[in-house]
Structure 1
Amino acid sequence: MRTHPDRWIAGLCLGSALAAGPAFAHEGAGLAGGLAAGLAHPLHGLDHLLAMVAVGLWGAFLGRPLVFALPVIFPLVMALGGVMGMAAVPVPPVEIGIALSVLVLGGAIAAAVRAPVWAAALLVAVFAIFHGYAHGQELPSAADPVGYSAGFVLATGLLHLAGVALGLIAARPGGVLALRGVGALIAAAGGYFIFEAAA
């Protein structure tokens, strides 16, 4: 039996996501580093990792233009959130916002929500502010904030692309149902993150 390349890509992306540790991406301060530390940081926090993959996955599910727009909107607005974090602009509880992003994005995939372009873009942008804000608070303590920021944004974009690649299985028989199942698992993780953040 012939193996399709997109199945390999989807399996690799899912395996990478599952191999990540369960730590939150936003605990602790005093991060040292530059580009390499920024690249690695999103991979150590399951909350950020799942939200980033979900953005790409939902974009793939929604199709054009959102499959291209959402992975661009999120990092751009996340950078704005980072500036807000460095400036200590008051926002609602950040960890709750991040956990809610995992729950809502996973739920949108699980429920096969086909949001209008403006609504999907706005939702992703709002969540991007929370993710950026958390990391903006950490940036001033990094040894190389510019390099760290560049690495973090690049890693975020790659996680979006992993979600888009995982979305390729939707074209296969039973693929949409499988993706909705993945969305349900992401949403369940988001519910757990909300519980942990509230506690």
Structure 2
Amino acid sequence: MRKSTDLTRLLLLPTLALVLVSAAIPASAHDATGHAGGFVSGFSHPILGWDHVIAMVAVGLWGAFLGSRARWILPVTFPLIMTAGATIGIIGLPLPAVETGIALSGVVLGLLIAFAVKAPLWIATVIVGIFALFHGHAHGTELPSAANPLAYAVGFVLATGLLHLAGIGFGMLTTSRPGRIAIRAMGLAIAAVGGAFLTGLA
């Protein structure tokens, strides 16, 4: 139990850092300011848009909630499929309703967490993969203008991984009843933020 507690604290550190950065610099991930540059731009891009933050944290959170292999398979699946989506965006192939798909990712994943849905692993992987495609495409369309695409991609993947770890860290709270209630409340909050993006209120 001590090891689990220590791991939870360790995983919550990047969470706090990312939340502070996001709160200090509120901005949309797609504000057309063209900040696709090097490593710093790639690292900051996912955490400057709440639509991406909530989805990536939710993936880790739902994976931790499902437990067992899902705890790691979902956070690994997301960046892998996101890379495929980014490739589609880079070569200029269109993907319909990208922004809607991104907003829906927060709504759907948030509700799955809020209602404690224990989906089979393959279904959970498919759901996460579909949403990852939208997130990846959105970033892929911005990547060609980067001054250093490789550095940008490394920074972006690192930030994505930290956001997933943040979700996993919070998901470790499922070992207690108050923790499970808090996680479900977080699911509702994630769904609400996703809904705000979906309806244009955010």
In the alignment, what sits opposite 1:77?
Answer: 81
Instruction: Measure how far apart 1:192 and its partner are.
Output: 0.2
* CA RMSD between the two structures: 2.1
Work out whether residues 90 and 143 of structure 2, in 8 Å CA contact, stay in contact via their aligned partners in 1: yes
In the alignment, what sits opposite 1:35?
Answer: 39
- Is the partner of 2:68 in helix, strand or coil? coil
Structure 1: where are the runs of 5+ without partners? none
Asked whether 1:116 is paired with 2:120, we answer yes
Cα separation, 1, equivalents of 2:99 and 2:85: 14
Large movers: runs of 4+ above 3 Å:
4-19
Instruction: Measure how far apart 1:96 and its partner are.
Output: 0.6
- Is the partner of 1:174 in helix, strand or coil? helix
Work out whether residues 51 and 197 of structure 2, in 8 Å CA contact, stay in contact via their aligned partners in 1: yes
Cα separation, 2, equivalents of 1:194 and 1:122: 21
- Is the partner of 2:177 in helix, strand or coil? coil
Query: How many residue pairs were aligned?
Result: 196
Work out whether residues 56 and 160 of structure 1, in 8 Å CA contact, stay in contact via their aligned partners in 2: yes
Structure 2: where are the runs of 5+ without partners? none
Asked whether 1:129 is paired with 2:133, we answer yes
Instruction: Measure how far apart 1:47 and its partner are.
Output: 0.8
Determine which of 182, 189, 197 is the counterpart of 2:186: 182
Cα separation, 2, equivalents of 1:11 and 1:155: 14
In the alignment, what sits opposite 1:159?
Answer: 163
Work out whether residues 82 and 137 of structure 1, in 8 Å CA contact, stay in contact via their aligned partners in 2: yes
CA 1:14–1:183: 2 relative to 1, 3 Å? farther
Cα separation, 2, equivalents of 1:36 and 1:69: 27
Cα separation, 2, equivalents of 1:111 and 1:68: 21
In the alignment, what sits opposite 1:60?
Answer: 64
Cα separation, 2, equivalents of 1:67 and 1:11: 15
CA 1:62–1:47: 2 relative to 1, 3 Å? same
Identity of aligned residues (%): 51
- Is the partner of 1:26 in helix, strand or coil? coil
- Is the partner of 1:96 in helix, strand or coil? helix
Cα separation, 2, equivalents of 1:13 and 1:110: 23
Work out whether residues 13 and 166 of structure 1, in 8 Å CA contact, stay in contact via their aligned partners in 2: no
Which whole-Å deviations, capped at 9, do the CAs of 1:166-185 have from their partners, x for residues lacking one?
11111123111110001000
Which whole-Å deviations, capped at 9, do the CAs of 1:132-177 have from their partners, x for residues lacking one?
0000010011101111012111210111011001111111231111
CA 1:14–1:156: 2 relative to 1, 3 Å? closer
Cα separation, 2, equivalents of 1:122 and 1:32: 29
